[in-house]
Structures are given as structure tokens and as C-alpha cells.
Amino acid sequence: MSTGELPELIRGLLEPAAYPYAVGKVELVQTHISYVLLAGDFVYKIKKPVDFGFLDFTSLAKRRYYCRQEVILNRRLCPGAYQGVVRVAWQAGRLRLEGRGKAVEYAV
């Protein structure tokens, strides 16, 4: 998939300036249910707005809920890896991880 075919949200988060710390390059890995962004020393996972019957991530509220559940469940086995849920928001005309505006997405 070319960058132009990705959702605006993901295209924005492929920009190093979207992160609250210095990032040289951001890499994207996709699964059937997630976008995984490798950004420096950190990895962020954003749930795709999909419904496969056995899971439903079609609303922002549901994706936020399941991000929180993922952190709660997985911290037990990997406490250092799962640091929390962060918001993605528009700030100063660009998408920002941990942005101050209204959340448009959440990431683990």
C-alpha cells in the first residue's frame, strides 16, 4: 500500500514532527486490525476501525476502551512494554501524539 492510500491519520503520524520527542524516521507495520508505528525507541499501536464480528473497533469510544483493556491485560506479562494509552489530536494544524486538542484517535 502506498502512503497516499493510507488514512490521513496514519499519514500524519508517519511524520517525525508528530511525536513529542526527537524521531529520525517512523516505520509502519500493518496487521489486519492495527497500524503499528515504530518511532525511535517507542512503538505505538492504533486499532483500525474494523468490525470482524468477534471484535468491533468501529467507533472512537470502542477503540479507546479496547486500548485501555489491552494495556491492563498485557501489563501483567510485559509491565515495561505497555506504558499506557495516548491520545492523538490536531495541534497547530498537524496531528500530534499526546496533542492538546480534541482526541481523534488513541494508541497503545
**pLDDT higher at 46 or 99:** 46
**Model confidence band, residue 68 (pLDDT cutoffs 50, 70, 90):** very high
Of the candidates 4, 25, 1, the one whose C-alpha atom is nearest the C-alpha of residue 15 is 25
For 1-108, list the strands marked E by DSSP: 26-30, 34-39, 42-47, 86-91, 94-97, 103-107
Query: What pTM was computed for the model?
Result: 0.92
Average pLDDT over residues 13-23: 96
For 42-92, list the strands marked E by DSSP: 42-47, 86-91
What is residue 2's predicted lDDT score, i.e. its pLDDT? 65
**pLDDT higher at 2 or 31:** 31
**Distance (Å) of CA 51 to CA 32, 68, 107:** 11, 18, 18
Q: H/E element holding 65?
A: helix 60-75
